[in-house]
Amino acid sequence: MTERNPRRAAQLIETARLELANYANGGIDQLTPPTELGKIFRYSDSYTKTIFGRSGLNTERILAQEAREQLPFPESSELAWMIGYLSSSSTARVTSNNSSYINIAESVPEREHKLVELSEKLFNVTPHHYKRLKWGKEYGGIRISNAHLQRRLGALDRSKAPETIRSRYPWILDDPEFGWKFIEGLFEAKGSVGGNTVLFTGDNQIYAAFTIELLKSLGIEDAHIQFTDRQKQKMNGVAVRSAPSLQKIASKITSVHPKSQEKFDVIKLREYRQWPQPTVVEILSLWKKAYASVGGAPSMNQLRHFLKEDDSTNISHSTVIRILGDGDHAKAREFLEKFAKNYEPTESPNNSSSDDDNQLIDGQSCIHRWIIESPNGTSFVSGRCKRCGAMRDFRSSHQELDWNTKAEREKDMRLMQRGIEEAIT
């Protein structure tokens, strides 16, 4: 039976309180379990617990741990990177025996090495590797088993992370240097870079809105939510596409993954031709040209093809959506539909009345197949529908002609060059 010596009990209590003071001052990151301290003084587990209870050490330790969990971590670029990574990729779990751990699924060796290195440096913990089977495949990563650390970091799952960052880590949002490090950590966890897009994948709208807000505060104004379908039912993540924004991101963050860093280097060296931003008036002027080309209000798809074929402009379809709809395809379409309702086109010389475009064949409106005469040096050339006989004038520029298929386009171009309209009729 263990000897119960008051002197040894006093030494145990003194040792435990010295450790507690060191812990409260930040000298150590976690307390030694009472049973481990009891073994040093040759006490049983049950009697050690009795000593801690009677001396008030149990209560003191609980209060110290609660106070320590409220202490903020020192501000640093490395911690900002870690918070960016953990908030977008880690998963916290509580086991049946009330212990906690943080799972980080990571398959890239370079990133895994950095996570382990920073965990040891920032949190004084050493993560261990784990593997598991899911859907017949083996997945792996690293795990941090430390309930105290988890509570001190705060709730970092994607729906709660924005509020935790605003309350516990406001310095990340206030200092651009820390903000970019957070974005770098977020990219390492959930980012990808292609030729013209940087994407931060994720399907949580709260976290996506927070990411967009942070990116815009850092000067990335075109950050927007990307969906996987046109119905916008499933979110793919936050995307950035404009050339200036891509180059800014590439110059501000680095990746430990060689392939990603190689793509960033390419973006940094790429020379973009900066075109002046078009006005709404200029876009509507092009829309009117497309109207004349297709013989009516063009759909968004027709407008896209028209802009692609028109060599006289450098305005792209995505620019139209950005200017007219603030990046939203549906808003841009609605804007143009409202404009089309009030638009009254000016007819070109010798143009037939609008009744020509409403010729009926077997009781149905004709889908015209225009036969265009050879250019004769004037601004317009005449055309006749080979199906219903309707007449119409077209601009001489071939980019504005309305061909229904690629084969018809090539055929009509040959006929225009030879000047033999009779070959079709």
How far is residue 287's CA from residue 321's CA, in Å, rounded to a whole number?
13
Domain-wise residue ranges, the chain: 6-70, 77-269, 275-346, 347-425
- Using alpha carbons, select from 141, 130, 217, 147 the residue that is nearest to residue 177: 217
Half-sphere CA count of 326, side-chain side, radius 13 A = 2
Is the four-CA dihedral 230, 234, 240, 241 of positive or negative sign?
negative
Stated pTM of the model: 0.56
Which residues have a Cβ under 8 Å from the Cβ of 118 and sit 6 or more positions away?
Answer: 78, 81, 82
Residue type, 149: L
Integer CA distances (angstroms), 423 to 128, 370, 372, 412, 418, in order: 79, 13, 12, 10, 10
In this prediction, residue 94 carries a pLDDT of 52
In 162-272, the DSSP E strands lie at 191-193, 198-201, 224-227, 235-240
* DSSP letter assigned to residue 361: E
For the record, the structure tokens of 309 come out as 């074929």
Say if CB 295 and CB 368 are below 8 A apart: yes
Residue type, 414: R
In this prediction, residue 368 carries a pLDDT of 66
How far is residue 308's CA from residue 351's CA, in Å, rounded to a whole number?
26
* DSSP letter assigned to residue 103: E
Half-sphere CA count of 113, side-chain side, radius 13 A = 6
Tens of pLDDT, residue by residue, the chain (425 residues):
344 578 888 888 999 999 988 887 777 877 888 889 888 888 888 888 888 888 888 888 888 877 776 667 889 999 999 999 999 887 766 554 545 667 777 778 888 889 889 988 988 888 888 777 767 777 778 888 877 788 788 888 888 999 999 999 999 999 999 999 999 999 999 999 987 899 999 989 999 999 999 999 999 999 999 988 777 778 899 999 988 899 999 999 999 999 999 999 988 887 665 556 788 888 888 898 888 888 888 998 889 888 888 877 778 888 888 888 877 888 888 999 888 888 877 654 344 444 444 454 444 556 666 777 766 666 666 777 776 777 777 665 544 444 444 555 555 555 554 443 443 44
Say if CB 13 and CB 57 are below 8 A apart: yes
Domain 77-269 class in CATH: alpha beta
Residue type, 339: F
Integer CA distances (angstroms), 341 to 108, 303, 335, in order: 55, 17, 10
CA angle 290, 296, 299 (to 5 degrees): 65
